[in-house]
Every structure is written in structure tokens, then in C-alpha cells.
Amino acid sequence: MKVQLVCQFGQPIRGLSPYGDPLLEALKRASPDTVEAVDFKAAYPGFLHPAVRGGIAGHGELHWGNPASWFRVAGRSADVIHLQHWSAPLSSYYLAIAVSARRRGKVVAVSVHNPEHHESVPGLSALEGRFLKSVDALVVHEKRAVDILRMRLGKACPPLYVIPHGVQLHSDRENHSIDGYRRLGLDPVRRYVVMFGNLRGYKGVSVLLDAWMRVAKTFDDVDLVIAGRLWDGRTRAGARLASWLLGGRNSEDLKEQLSLVEATNRVHLREGFIPDEEIDFLLDMAQLAVFPYERFASQSGAACRAAGRGCPVLVTDVGGLPELAIDSSWVVEPSCSIALSSALAEKLSTNGEHRQPLRQSQRARVGAMRWSEVARDHLDLYAELLRTRRRKH
């Protein structure tokens, strides 16, 4: 069995590489000669990316604007081609790859990382639907996504399979170096709540800030750290247009709200790309990480990272986020700042006394989602799809 895994690999700033890299590594450990990585030279025009300064070109082969690269990928010798799909514009050439690969006798599987778009992209939904209907199987990360795709695609929906988002588990050794606090401009004697990731409209930053206004009055020893990139398209006109289409419409309002709260309510904003080591330090020293998404239909790579590091995650009841929570007390109603502030207050009241047991419980909660298990699920799926193809032919 030979499989082509088409994804972004390498630089985390490129989008899906924090998923593709560990998946590829786990697949190669489980079956060294089975999987070939197919990387992108460019998944879409770099100047359109609303959260990146400069280009985002990779070193791979697949290029959004080069049809020859599409058909080279489709024509390679392999039994299965597994496309990682995270944004509707990819459908403009993924469809050609899928149709060409199936004509050559390949099985085509697609992991749909966003079954429901975070923001609508005008004119592309119909094309994306056509692409998703053209393949042999769809993979999603959580059960709710199955119903969403069946509703979107109707009777023509291909078979759906649920494979969890992988989690990298870390030991319980924590990093509390004074140098780490100094680099982040934080005080080592205080406690911290952390939110990190791309700061897009659906992620509930405004809800968190409203909740924090209440929490900050009660807990004068706790600060809030918000780390990530605003999708504001600040670099050039094309990026500003992409920002408007892909969730940056409210970025100016959000920046203004952040600046007002930051000055008076112990909020530390680290805006921009955050190196891995700084994110890891934040998760090691934080009391908890909060992911107050207002709408979501998949799994959060950022929340998976926090959970695997042992940082307890307080999440909203959307998408696959509840699957990461230690128990139901760590799950709140979305878009409700009162519920979020109550949960934060409850956890901050007790977290200091039970810090280590909570971190151990968080790791245990996501233990079955380790990348080795996810890789085995993928290999089993590939084998099943090939058996189904052989029975049909």
C-alpha cells in the first residue's frame, strides 16, 4: 500500500503544518514505507494571507497557480491520495486533482478540517461542495461534523469517518524559569490565564474580555495573557480584502477593545507570531487556558496543544472542544460572558490547591488522542478503502 499525504509541512506560520508534521511523523513510525509527503509550494497567493507579513511560499511541489503541478501530484504512483482540506479556495484545484487521481484508479480521501466555514467565502461554497462530493471518503475530527457535512452535501455525501485530531503528550515537568517570565514581560509571583491562537472573529475574544472585566475585580493576583495574530490584513490591499472576507472585519474593533482593557484590567496582549518555546512556556506556567469559541465545527489545534501539555482547558460547547475538557465543569455555553466569568472564578478559586492533579487529569483525558493512535486509525482507514475499491472492481 502506497499513500500520498498532501498537506502543509514545516513552518508553523503556514497554517496546517502543526497538524501535518506530527501526523506524517506518526505514520512513518507506524509504517515506514507506506506514506509519501506531498507539500505545497503555495496553497494560495501569499499576499492574500491576512495574518502574515511577507510571503509564505514553501519548498514543496503543489502550487495553486500551476496546473502542471496538480496533475503531477495526481499522476504519481500510489494507491491512496489523502488531501488535507482547510479552506474553500483550495477546492479550485483540489477538484482537478481528485478527478484526475480517481481516473487513474487511486482512492481519494479528504480530511475536512473545517466542515463549516469560520466565515463565508462568496462564490466558493458550490465549488467546494462539488469537490467534496467527488471523492471516495471524507474524514472529520468529531461526531458533530458528520451531521454538518451530511446536511451540506445531501445524498451525494461520500462515506464519513471520524478520526480525532492528534495530541502530543508531554511529561509533567513544567518550565517556570525566570528567564521565560522575563522574555514575556510577566511577573513570576502572579497567576495567569492564557488564550492563544489566531485572533479571529469566531474565537470569542470579545466574550472573554467581557468576562474578564468581572473576574479581574475578584482575583487581584491573576492576569490574562492573550497571544496570537490578528487577521487585519495590515500588509497590503490584497491582504486587507482577504482579511475582510476571512474574519478580519471586526479586527479594528477588537484591537480597540484590547487596548482599552489591556491598560486597566491586567491584560497582556502579545500580538503577532509567537515562537513555539514561548507558547510552551505560557502553557507550563498558566493556571488554565481558555478557548471561548462562539461557533466552531471541528477541533482546535491550539486547544489540543494546551491539553497535551497538561494545561487545563476551559472550553465552550462547540465542535470537538468538549472532548478535550477534563469534565463537564470545564465546558460552558458559547457567547455567554456571564457563564464564562462564573467558570473562570470557580476554577481560579480552587486551581492553585490542585494544580498538579488537574494537569495530570488533563493529560489523561486526551491520552487516547495521541498521534500514534491517530496514525493507526489512518492506516486502518486506507486499508478499508482499498478493500472497498477492490470489491467494487
Fold match between domain 3-166+370-392 and domain 178-368: yes
**DSSP summary character for residue 370:** B
Is it the case that residue 51 has pLDDT exceeding 50? no
Q: Rounded to whole angstroms, how far apart are CA atoms 384 and 381?
A: 5
H or E element: which one contains 77? none
Query: What is the separation, in whole angstroms, between the first and last Cα of the chain?
Result: 17
Alpha-helical (H) ranges within 246-370 are: 251-264, 276-285, 301-308, 337-350, 355-365
Whole-number Å distance between alpha carbons of 320 and 343: 19
**What 3-state DSSP class applies to 226?**
strand
> pLDDT tens across 233-279, in order?
444 444 444 444 444 445 566 666 666 665 566 898 888 778 888 99
Whole-structure pTM value: 0.89
Q: How far is it, in rounded angstroms, from Cα 42 to Cα 57?
A: 5
Spatial neighbors of 182 by CB under 8 A, at least 6 apart, are none
CA distance 129 to 151: 11
Q: C-alpha cell of 208?
A: 472573554
53 contacts 78 by C-beta, under 8 angstroms: no
Percent of the chain at pLDDT > 90 equals: 65
CATH class of 178-368: alpha beta
Q: In the structure grid, which three cell numbers stand for residue 197, read together?
A: 491562537
Q: Which CATH class is domain 3-166+370-392?
A: alpha beta
Please give the order of strands across the beta sheet that includes 137-140: 35-38, 3-6, 80-85, 107-112, 137-140, 160-162
H/E stretch holding 113: none
Q: List Cα–Cα distances, 68 to 65, 74, 87, 120, in angstroms.
A: 9, 10, 21, 29
Instruction: Measure the CA–CA gap between 350 and 373, rounded to whole angstroms.
Output: 33
Q: How far apart are CA 1 and CA 383, in angstroms?
A: 8
More confident residue, 250 or 83: 83
**Cα dihedral 62→64→10→166 (10° resolution):** -100
CA distance 344 to 338: 10
Residue with cell 479550485: 92
User: What residue spans define the domains of the chain?
Assistant: 3-166+370-392, 178-368
DSSP state letters, 116-177: S-SS--TTTHHHHHHHHHTSSEEEESSHHHHHHHHHHHGGGPPPEEE-PPPB----S-----
State the average pLDDT over residues 348-371: 88
**Model confidence over 126-179: pLDDT tens digits?**
899 999 999 999 999 999 999 999 999 999 999 999 999 999 998 766 666 778
pLDDT digits (tens, 9 = 90+) for 190-246: 999 999 988 887 899 999 999 999 999 999 999 999 998 876 544 444 444 444 444
Q: Is the pLDDT of residue 289 over 80?
A: yes
For residue 338, name the pLDDT band (cuts at 50, 70, 90).
Answer: very high
Max distance between CA atoms of the chain, in angstroms, equals 68
